[in-house]
Amino acid sequence: MSSTIVSLPDQSTARIPKTNFITKENGILSWLLTGDHKRIAILYLISITFFFFIGGALAGLIRLELLTPQSDLMATDTYNKVFTMHGVVMIFLFLVPSVPATLGNFLIPIMIGAKDLALPKVNLLSWYLYIIGGILVLYTMISGGVDTGWTFTTPLSTHYVNTNVLSTGLAVFIAGFSSIFTGLNFIVTIHKMRAPGMTWFRMPLFVWAHYAASILMVLGTPVLAIAIVLVALERTIGIGVFDPTKGGDPLLFQHLFWFYSHPAVYIMILPGMGVISEVISTFSRKRVFGYTAVAFSSVAIAVFGFFVWEHHMFIMGVSSYSMLVFSLLTMLVAVPSAIKIFNWTFTLYKGSITFETPMLYAFGFMGLFTIGGLTGVFLGTSGTDIHLTETYFIVAHFHFVMVGGMLMAFLSGIHFWWPKITGRMYPEKISQLAALVTFIGFNFTFFPQFILGVLGMPRRYAAYPPEFQILNVFSTAGATILGVGYLLPILYLTWSLKYGEIAGNNPWQATGLEWQIQSPPLTENFIELPVMDHDAYDYEWLERQKEKEVTSVG
Amino acid sequence: MDHISPVFWQFLVKWMTDFALFPPEASKIAPQMDALFFFMVLVSLIGLTIVILLVTSFSILYSKKRHPIAVQIEGSTLLEATWTIIPLGLFLIMFVWGALIYFRVYTPPANAMNIYVVGKQWMWKAEHPGGQHEINSLHVPTGRAVQLTLISQDVFHSFSIPAFRIKREAIPGRYTTVWFEPTTPGTYHLFCTQYCGTSHSAMIGDIVVMTPEDFKKWQQESTSGMSLAQNGERLFSSLSCNACHNGRPDSRGPSLANVYGSKLTLTSGQSATADEAYLRESILNPSEHVTQGYAPIMPTYQGQINEDGVIALVEYIKNLSSNYRVEQTLNTTGLLPEGEGTPAAVKQQPAGKTPAGQGTVKQ
C-alpha cells in the first residue's frame, strides 16, 4: 500500500483540457474586464502576492533594525514608518483579502454548484477598489510614508504627525469597500445560488467559514470607514469628536476602530479555518468530525467576535464593570476555536492519513494556532493583560494567529487547490521541505518574542535595553529562515506552471464538487447543472462514483 | 579560538552571562499576578501537549500504510460537550482570577501616597506632593502603597513598570490611576508602551525603589523647597482665582475649602462628586460645571495652564480646609511673579511661614 493518495492520469497521454477558463479568451483586456470569478481570483492572487512581498521586505527591515539595541540602521522616524507600512500592507492588502478573495472567489461558486458569484461585476469592482487602495499605499510609501502605526491612534494621527495620514486613510477606506463587496457577494451567492440538493448542511465547511467571515466584513468594515472619515475630518477641519479640549473623547476612536479591527481578526482567520477543514478531511479520507459543531462554531465566532473589542482597552481607564463583561465574552469566543481544534484532531482518528504538503501546512496551522489562541486567553484575562498588553507578547500572539494560523492555512490551500486552478501539480518533495522550513523559521522568529513580552519589552520600539538583545537576535535569525520558507513556494509554483505534472480532475480523490469537474475548470464551471444527492465529505459516494465509471468504461 | 568570529564569540559570552527569561518581582502584586500567569502557562502546556500527542499518535496509528481504509465516524455529542465544557470551565477560572487581580491593581487603598505623573512627547514628569519633581525617573519607598495619578499633555502614553507587573495608559484630558507597593529596593525599567511618535522608544526611565530611610533622605535632598500644593497656591493667586473663590459671603465663586470629596449640585440639576477629575474639568471647562446658585461667569483656563499647573491647582484645592490663607493671599496677588512650573525662581515668601492647622498643606 502506497503512502500517498495522489492519483494522476497517465502523463504520456494526459493533456490540459483545451477549453478552460484560462484559454477561453486571450489578451490583457479579457482579464481586466472579466466577470469570471476564477479570473478575478487569479488577479487577486497576483496582486496580494505582490503586496505580501512588499510587507515581507518591510518586516525584514524591522528585524534587521532590532538586531542591535540601538536605533542604528534607520532613524527612529524611519523605523516608525516601516512598522506602520508593514502593518497596513499586511493587514489591509494581504491578510484580509488573502483566502476569501483568492481561494474563496475561485471556489465558493463551484463548491455550491453555481456558475459564478451572484454579482460578477461587483466582484470585478472590488478588485479594482483593492488595486486603487494598493496604489494609494504605494504612493504613501514613495511620498514619505506614514508613522501613526496601523492603528491610527488619535490624537497622534489627528494632531501630532505630519506624515501622509490622509492618503493612508483613504487607501484603507477604499480597500475596505473592496472587502465589503466581496462579503456581500458571498452572502448573496450562498443564499441564492446553491445547486439543487445543496442544503445548508451539505455545504463544505469552507463555505460555512466564508459565510461567517462575510457577515463580519459587511457589518464591521463600515465602522472602520466611519472611524477613518472622522480622523480625516478631525485632521483637516478639526471637528473635535476625539479632541478633549473641544469636549471630544480620544477613547471613542479606539472603540470605533476596534469594533472593526477585532472582528477583522476573525475575518482573517475564519476563511483559513475553512481551508483546514477541507484539507484535513481529504488527507485523512474521513468526513470532518462533528460537522455541525464546526459549522456552528464559525457562526459563534462571528457573533461573539463583535462583542469583545474592549479587551484592547482594559488598561485605558474603561469602567471596571464593562471590563468584566468584555473579558467574559472574550473567554466565550475562545471556546469555538478550541472546539474546532479538537474536531480536526478527531477527524484524524481512524482515518487513513497521508502527508502531502497541504496536510503538513495544516498540521503547522493546528500547532501554531493552538499556541496563538491560548496566548490570546492570557490577554483576554484582565489581570494578566495589564502586564502583557502593549508588549512583544501581543506581537508574538497575533503573529502566531495571523502568520502561524492564516498564512499557513493560505499556503495549505494554495497547494491543495493549485492542481485545480492551474491543471498542474506542484513538485511534492521541495514543497514538503518548504512547509518544514516555514514551520521551523516561524517558531524561531516568534517564540522568543513571547519571552521578550513577559520581560516587558514594549512593541514599536526602535531601540531597546541591551539585555533584550539575545532574544532579538534569535528572532531575526528565525526571520531569515522564514524568508527562505516563503521564497521557495513562489519559485517552484511558478516553475510548475510549465513543468508540473498534469493533475487531472481529481488528484487528491477529494469529494468536493470542484474536484468532479475538469482542471482548470470551464468558464461556466459545470457542463450540466449538478445535483447534490449526498453529504459533504462523503467518501463512500466517491467510491461508488469511481466504480460506476469503471463499469461504464468496461 | 581563532576560527570563531569575534562577533559570534561576543554573542555566546553575552548569552551565558546576560540572559533574562523572567522579569524580577518587585511589588506586592507581582507574585500574585505571576501565580495566575503560571497557572495559565500550565493549562496551556497541558492543552498543547494533548493536541500534539493526539495529532502525532493518530498520524502514526492511522497513517495510510497502517490503516488503509478509513472508518467513517459522524461525530460524538459526548466528546463535543467535553471539549466545550472543560475549556470553558478553565477559561472561566482564569476570568474570575484575572478580574480579582485587575480590581486589586486599579483600586488604590485610601492611605496610599499619591504621585502625579504627566506624560508628554517624549518624557515622563513626576510630581511628588512634597514638591520633588522628576523627569524620566520615579523614586518610591518600599513597604508603602504608592498611587499614581496619570495624565497626558498630548497623545496617548502608557506608564509601564514590568518589574511591578503594572501598566496604565496616560490619556489626554483624563486622569487615570494605578497603585503598587514596592517590595524590593533596586532600579527597574520604566517604559512608555503606547506608541507615541518619533521618540517613543526613548520615553523610558528608571524606577528607583529605596528603603524608607533612604527615601526620606532622598525626599529632603531633592525638594524644590515648595510643596506641590504650595506651588498650586501660588498659581491660584497669580491666576486671580482668589478674586472670586475667596469664601467671603459676597464672593462670585463658591468657596473651595473642603470642597474636595463633597457632593455638589450643579445648575443643570445634576449632582457631581468633586474628585480630581471634576476639579480639573471645572478649571478647564467651567461653563459645564457651574455650582447651583452661582452665575456662569468663570472664564476657561484651557490653553493658559498646562497639565502640570492644573495638577498643582488640584493638589492645592484638595488640601484646602479653610479660606484663611485665600484671604491672606488676596492682598499680595500683585506681588507674585507670573508663570508656573519653575518653582526655583520663586522665593517661598508666604508659604514657609504658614501656621499649622491654618488650612494650607498636608505634606
Laid out side by side, the sheet with B205-210 consists of B137-141, B205-210, B186-192, B157-161, B166-170
* H or E element that contains B270: none
Q: Test A353 with B92 for CB contact under 8 angstroms.
A: no
Domain with residues A28-553, CATH architecture: Up-down Bundle (1.20)
Using the beta-carbon criterion (under 8 Å), do B73 and A161 form an inter-chain contact?
no
User: Tell me, what's the pLDDT at A317?
Assistant: 87
**What are B190-200's pLDDT values in tens digits?**
999 999 999 99
**Confidence tier at A546 by pLDDT (50, 70, 90):** confident
Chain centroid to CA A456: 29
Starting at the edge strand that comes first in sequence, how are the strands of the sheet with B133-135 ordered? B133-135, B123-127, B113-120, B146-152, B176-180
Annotate A434-449 with b (16+ C-beta within 10 A) or e (fewer): bbebbbebbbbbbbbb
Quick one: pLDDT at residue B334?
Answer: 45
Q: How close B87 comes to chain A (CA, Å)?
A: 7
Tell me the mean pLDDT in the region A41-56: 96
In which band, very low, low, confident or very high, does the pLDDT at B254 lie, cut at 50, 70 and 90? confident
Query: Which positions 499-528 of A are in contact with B (Cβ < 8 Å)?
Result: none
CATH of domain B23-223: 2.60.40.420
- Find the radius of gyration of the CA atoms of chain B: 28
- CA dist A499 and A13 (Å) reads 15
How many residues does this entry show for chain B? 363
Whether residue B361 has pLDDT greater than 70: no
Indicate the pTM of the whole model.
0.91
Is the model's pLDDT at A332 over the cut of 70? Answer: yes
Query: Do the chains contact at A350 and B64, CB–CB below 8 Å?
Result: no
C-alpha cell at A499: 513543468
A156 contacts chain B (CB < 8 A): yes
Q: Which residues 218-247 of A have a C-beta within 8 angstroms of B?
A: 244-245, 247
Q: Say whether A348 and B58 touch across the interface (CB within 8 A).
A: yes
Candidate from A244, A351, A382 with C-beta closest to B70: A351
Write the DSSP symbol of residue B131. S
Pull the grid cell for residue A235.
Answer: 485632521
- Residues from chain A that touch B38, judged by Cβ atoms under 8 A, are none
- What torsion, rounded to 10 degrees, do the Cα atoms B13, B16, B20, B26 define? -110
pLDDT (average), residues A335-340: 95
Q: What's the pLDDT score for residue B16?
A: 66
Q: How confident is the model at residue A553 (pLDDT cuts 50, 70, 90)?
A: low
> For residue B102, what is the nearest residue in chain A, using CA coordinates?
A383
Q: Tell me, yes or no, if B305 comes closer than 8 A to chain A by beta carbon.
A: no
In sequence order, which ranges of A66-162 are alpha helices (DSSP H)?
Answer: 76-88, 98-99, 105-111, 120-142
Q: Where are the domains of chain B?
A: 23-223, 228-353
- pLDDT score of B17 more than 90: no
Kindly state the greatest CA–CA separation across chain B: 100
Instruction: Note whether B33 contacts A328, CB cutoff 8 Å.
Output: no
The predicted model gives B337-348 an average pLDDT of 42
Query: Which of A384, A389, A447, A537 is best to mutate for the B interface (most B CBs within 10 A)?
Result: A384
Q: What are the sequence ranges of the domains in chain A?
A: 28-553
Q: Do B59 and A348 touch (CB under 8 A)?
A: yes
Using an 8 Å Cβ cutoff, are A65 and A81 in contact? Answer: no
Choose the closest CB to A76 out of B68, B91, B199. B199
Q: Tens digits of per-residue pLDDT, A456-480?
A: 999 999 999 988 998 999 999 999 9
| pLDDT tens per residue, range A17-39 | 999 999 988 899 999 999 999 99
Label residue B21 by pLDDT band (50, 70, 90): confident
- Which of B75, B76, B195 lies nearest to residue A460, judging by beta carbons? B195
Nearest Cβ partner for A458 among B91, B160, B284: B160
A439: pLDDT confidence band, cut at 50, 70 and 90?
A: very high
- pLDDT bin (cut points 50, 70, 90) of residue B289 is confident
Distance CA B290, CA A518 (A): 78
What percentage of chain B carries pLDDT values higher than 70? 87
Residue B331 has pLDDT above 60, yes or no: no
Is A458's CB within 8 Å of B168's CB? Answer: no
Contact B18 A466 (CB under 8 A): yes
Of A250-264, A489-503, B285-299, which gets the smallest average pLDDT?
B285-299
Sign of the alpha-carbon dihedral angle for A392, B147, A316, B43: positive
Select from A148, A382, A542 the residue whose CB has the most chain B CBs within 10 Å, as the one to mutate to test that interface: A382
Tell me what pLDDT residue B333 has: 46
Please report which confidence band the pLDDT of residue B8 belongs to, taking 50, 70 and 90 as the band edges: confident
What are the Cα distances from residue A34, in Å, to A29, A129, A243?
8, 15, 46
Residue B136: is it exposed, middle or buried by C-beta count within 10 angstroms (0-12/13-18/19+)?
middle
Nearest CB among A363, A375, A387 relative to B167 is that of A387
Is A488 within 8 Å of chain B by CB? no
Q: Where are the beta strands (DSSP E) in chain B?
A: 113-120, 123-127, 133-135, 137-141, 146-152, 157-161, 166-170, 176-180, 186-192, 205-210, 263-265, 271-273
pLDDT per residue over A401-411, tens digit each?
A: 999 999 999 99
Backbone angles phi, psi at B244, to 5 degrees: -110, -45
For the CA atoms of A284, A289, A295, A297, what is the dihedral angle to 10 degrees?
Answer: -110
Task: Flag whether residue A494 sits within 8 Å of chain B, measured between CB atoms.
Answer: no
Residues 1-20 of A with CB under 8 A from B: 1-5
DSSP labels, A498-550: HHSPB--S-TT---SGGGGS-SSPBTTB-SS-----S-TT-HHHHHHHHHHHH
Show residues of chain A in contact with B52, CB under 8 Å. 367
Judged by CB atoms closer than 8 Å, whether chains meet at A387 and B64 is answered as no
Please tell me the distance from the alpha carbon of residue A112 to that of residue B83, in angstroms, as a whole number: 30
Is it true that domain B228-353 has CATH number 1.10.760.10?
yes
DSSP state of B74: -
**Per-residue pLDDT band at B335 (split at 50, 70, 90):** very low
User: Chain B closest CA to A504's CA: distance in Å?
Assistant: 22
Q: Which residues of B touch A160 (CB under 8 A)?
A: 121, 154-155, 197
Residues 6+ apart with CB under 8 A from A28: none
Residue A368 has pLDDT above 80, yes or no: yes
Residue A161 has pLDDT above 50, yes or no: yes
Distance (Å, whole) CA A18 – CA B197: 57
Residues 6+ away with beta carbon under 8 Å from A325: none
Give me the pLDDT at residue B219, please.
Answer: 92
Interface of B with A in 185-204 (CB under 8 A): 189, 191-202, 204
Q: By three-state DSSP, how is residue B157 classified?
A: strand
The pLDDT of residue B350: 43
Residue B15 has pLDDT above 70, yes or no: no
Running DSSP on this structure, what letter comes out for residue A290? T
The pLDDT tens digits for B64-84 are 999 999 999 988 999 999 999
Whole-number pLDDT of residue B356? 39
Q: How many CB pairs under 8 A join A and B?
A: 300
Asked whether the domain spanning B228-353 has the same topology as the one spanning B23-223, the reply is no
Q: How many Å separate Cα A518 from the centre of its chain?
A: 27
